[in-house]
Structure 1
Amino acid sequence: MERLSRGQRLTDLAVAALLALVGVLEIWVPFESLMGDGSRVVSTIGVLWYAAHLSQRRSRPWVALAGLLVWPLLGLVVGADDMHLLFFGQLIPTLVLAYTIARHATGRYRWIGTLGVVAFVTFADLFVPLLREPSELIYHWGNLTLVYLVGHGLRVSADRAAREAVRAHDAESRVREAELAAIADERARIARELHDIVAHSMGMIVVQAGAAEQVVEDDPAFARRALSTIRTTGSSALSEMRRLVGVLRDPAPGADFAPQPGLSALPDLVETARAGGLDVRLQVEGDREELPAGVDLAAYRIVQEALTNVRRHSAASCADVHLAVGPSAVRIEVTDGGPARPVAGPPGHGLVGMRERAALYGGRLEAAPQGTGFTVRAELPLERV
């Protein structure tokens, strides 16, 4: 049994009521479609019986199918020759039932219902003389076949649409899972890098504190400079530690413990890209020497990933890298001339990683087509210590 909404049940009741009304009017007006001689009262009972059963055609389909029995039973009571033949009271409801079976029936009811309708129409052809005319046979069998095929076609289309919707949902779920996995991997990588920065800062503090302790009486000026360095380094390390506790650290086996790169390594990065066939034009504005270590690393990684995306996804032969270090933020822009080219295999997660790095420092990243090419813009706010 199909579970119906209230609106669907009301629709079925309205259709059944309309069929009953038109069928009764066909008998008592009467319409020109009324054929044969018979009792109007008996025919009215048959029409109302059939319509009442059809009101359950989707919620209780076996009840609707049982409504077909009314006409053979009445034929046995009053005789087939004395029954009215109704277009609106008999044929139209039968076509509605056939459409419903083809469109909505499931399981064994679909085949039993189809056979029931066919048997009913065949019974009428065999025992009602007016229906044996060739024109009548062609008319009602043609209509029955057409209505059934329409219902079946709509059913196939709906099933195909449902399968496509499920497939699209599964694909979207897989993409989302891959994106979440990429975010987790990128956060773990960022955590490892921040851990190295903090560890380096702590090591520097220990060294400076030891040196200051040794010369605090003999060289107070050196001790003061050491303490100033400790304060600056400790403040920077504390800021990085706040970010680190918000990122899941999951060190991978064989992690790289080499010193983390910064913007000072951009020339080497540009030379590597040029060696790979991409002509990179680098423009740097502002003083990058006093940047916090975490921001320095994040800016480098964003430029690195943006250039990697140019090599992977663009047919451009050159790219422009513009880096501006201001008093309140570091601004990065990487532009290529395109055009884009298709890449085999699953999509990468470079943009996800860049956005994660920018968000970690309260910044933002925009990546969008520009002309025939593509542009990545990032802004990393500075917290001067």
Structure 2
Amino acid sequence: MPFVLPREPGLPPVTWTAYAFTTLGVLPLVWRRRRPVLVLVVILLVGGVYRVAVDGPGQPLPYAGLMAFYTVALQCPGRVRAWVGAGSVGTVAASVGLSTGTARELSFTLFCAGASYALGRLQYTRQAYTAAVEDRAAQLERANRIEAEQAAARERARIAREMHDVLSHAVSIMIVQAEAGPVAVRRAPERAEAAFEAISETGREAMAQLRTMLGVLRETDGPEPREPQPGVAALPTLLERVRRGGPEVVYEESGGAAGLPAAVDTAVYRIVQEALTNVLKHARARRVSVRLHHGDGELAVTVTDDGRGPGGGHGDDGGAAGGAGGGGSGAAGGGHGLIGIGERAAAHGGTAWCGPRRDGPGFEVRAVLVTSRPEVGS
């Protein structure tokens, strides 16, 4: 304000030199974030020269110096802050000595410098906390994105496995029935009619199951009716459809059947379906046996045939049930059916094995699924 309002009578007028030094005392603040220590030194030197050599109005408080000191406290490391603090105390003492030399002015000036330093450190703490929170949020966002991508990959794998089971089984039965149709037309027309009915029924069921799975993927405005996934109760219908394809199928369930969790119920159906699909595609078996045994907290599924075994058939889908968490043997291959059996068993805490039968010619698929978890402390 002394540069704007007229000065009191008797005081010398403000000179351009005073204007220049006042400007030089503030202008370095433009670079305070790049060179905080240098800016503080320049401002203190300009202020000292102004008080000693220039007879002009001055600020009652060194505002520019306080801002520069605040920036040093905010941005500089501890050793630099210590050296700058010690130098600032000496500068303040010398300035007060050249001015009034009173303890009151010294304590007041030191208090202002200390407050400026404290505000700088508080701002540093706040910025560090904000940066930590933002970094944590970014990490959580990355983790959530990775988890979502992994969940999508698992869901794609599950859908691919379901579609493989449905299509592979249905197409296998339709091919077997279609190949047997011309022979039946010549030898037993009544069997040909049954074969064509089996083809039609299998196709309709496959379309219904595919429509259900695709309906889950399709975005709709409202809920659509959903049919439940097939389970153990649907096995007799599945086996009857396979019987129409030629091989004799024997079904046995033992051990006192109890209510199964829905996921396990569907997994058992899909395991049996895939095993039977492999029999129809590769084994050329005359007899197939499907056994379910309900044990203590687990369910064992065994499918055996008297066909060519892994050496001549089944090799299209591999031998060991990969990813099942258990051992296995058999011919390695490039398909996904037996791998899917192992994955289904492992998903329910169990194991799967596949390979040649030990008691005769043919192939065997065996899977054990956990149906109940033991209680804690039991």
Q: Between Structure 1 and Structure 2, whose CA radius of gyration is higher?
A: 2
With normalisation by structure 1, the TM-score equals 0.47
Where relative contact order (Cα < 8 A, 6+ residues apart) is larger, the structure is 1
Structure in which a larger fraction of residues adopt helix: 1
With normalisation by structure 2, the TM-score equals 0.48
